[in-house]
């Protein structure tokens, strides 16, 4: 028999998905109250394991614009949807008035197993819509784990071509390939105490941040042990549509599905960018 999920909706604020035991699995905040220079966007936080351990970090002191689990694009025709200071080759990182916002428009489905919404990705000041998104968030519970499938279709509604970029491709900033669905992990993911079963691994036999960062693969796994409970969780990030170059940071625990890396990615007028992701949170 399939375990039963539950839902709790706080209108105009957030939706919570509860596990079979009634405990919170994850909260989806679709009307965020975050600062404009953090590129406001819907986010998932907190995200818990089935055992109840916290897995995400929201507005960490090192990068307050990291918002749990959220979808970002570093630059859309110069509009910063990642948050934080913007890098230009001419003058480096600067705080600029160039932050876009993702705005929730409507729910198309609101059930424990499936959240489906429409959003607009808007320019600062004018509010002009650059991208219209259909987003589906599907939750399922298995044996000792639960899975979140995040599907997004982003439609260019501007009437002209758009350029999607990161600071490496746009300005030559080495290593700055971050973009896409971003998971900012709880501090527990920093855990390193000589145990080979704890750490970062990816398909192809890769292990450790240095090997996995930038490598193209279908999946990435991050294993940790939690303070206090001493329980362990293994988070599996999968890209069902094929290998992509992972963006990974162990010191500030972060994993991102970086769908492009060395070059900018064009999105023609009327073009649709489809992004598929699956995350599995397993008791280890």
196-241 confidence digits (pLDDT tens): 889 999 999 999 999 999 999 999 999 999 999 999 999 999 999 9
Q: Does the pLDDT of residue 191 top 90, yes or no?
A: no
Per-residue confidence (pLDDT) for residue 115, from 0 to 100: 98
Predicted local distance difference test score (pLDDT) of residue 1: 56
The structure tokens 């499936």 sit at 114
Give the integer Cα–Cα distance in Å for 81 and 79.
Answer: 6
When the pLDDT of each residue in the chain is averaged and rounded to a whole number, the result is: 95
DSSP string, 49-111: -TT--B-B-BS-TT-TT-BSEEEE-SEETTBBSS-SPEEETTTEEE--S-B-EEEEEEEEEE-
235-283 confidence digits (pLDDT tens): 999 999 999 999 999 999 999 999 998 999 999 999 999 999 999 999 9
Write out the two tokens for 176.
């700055």
Give this prediction's pTM: 0.96
Per-residue tokens: 28? 């989806």
So where are the chain's domains? Answer: 70-283
């Amino acid at each position: 028999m399939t375990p039963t999920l539950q839902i709790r909706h706080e209108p105009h604020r957030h939706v919570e998905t509860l596990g079979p035991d009634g405990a919170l699995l994850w909260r989806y905040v679709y009307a965020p109250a975050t600062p404009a220079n953090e590129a406001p966007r819907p986010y998932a936080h907190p995200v818990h394991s089935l055992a109840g351990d916290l897995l995400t970090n929201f507005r960490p002191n090192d990068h307050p614009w990291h918002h749990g689990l959220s979808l970002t694009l570093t630059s859309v025709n110069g509009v910063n949807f990642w948050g934080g200071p913007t890098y230009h080759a001419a003058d480096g990182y600067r705080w600029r008035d160039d932050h876009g916002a993702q705005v929730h428009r409507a729910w198309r489905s609101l059930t424990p197993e499936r959240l489906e919404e429409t959003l607009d990705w808007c320019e600062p000041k004018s509010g002009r819509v650059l991208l219209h998104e259909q987003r589906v968030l599907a939750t399922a519970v298995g044996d000792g784990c639960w899975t979140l499938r995040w599907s997004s279709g982003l439609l260019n509604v501007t009437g002209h071509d758009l350029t999607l970029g990161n600071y490496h491709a746009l300005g030559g900033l080495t290593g700055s390939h971050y973009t896409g669905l971003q998971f900012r992990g709880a501090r527990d993911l920093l855990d390193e105490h000589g145990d080979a079963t704890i750490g970062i691994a990816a398909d192809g036999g890769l292990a450790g941040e240095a090997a996995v960062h930038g490598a193209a693969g279908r999946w990435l796994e991050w294993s940790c042990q939690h303070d206090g409970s001493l329980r362990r969780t293994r988070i599996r990030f999968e890209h069902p549509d094929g290998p992509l170059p992972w963006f990974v940071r162990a010191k500030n625990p972060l994993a991102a599905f970086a769908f492009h890396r060395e070059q900018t990615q064009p999105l023609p007028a009327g073009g649709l960018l489809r992004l598929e992701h699956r995350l599995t949170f397993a008791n280890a």
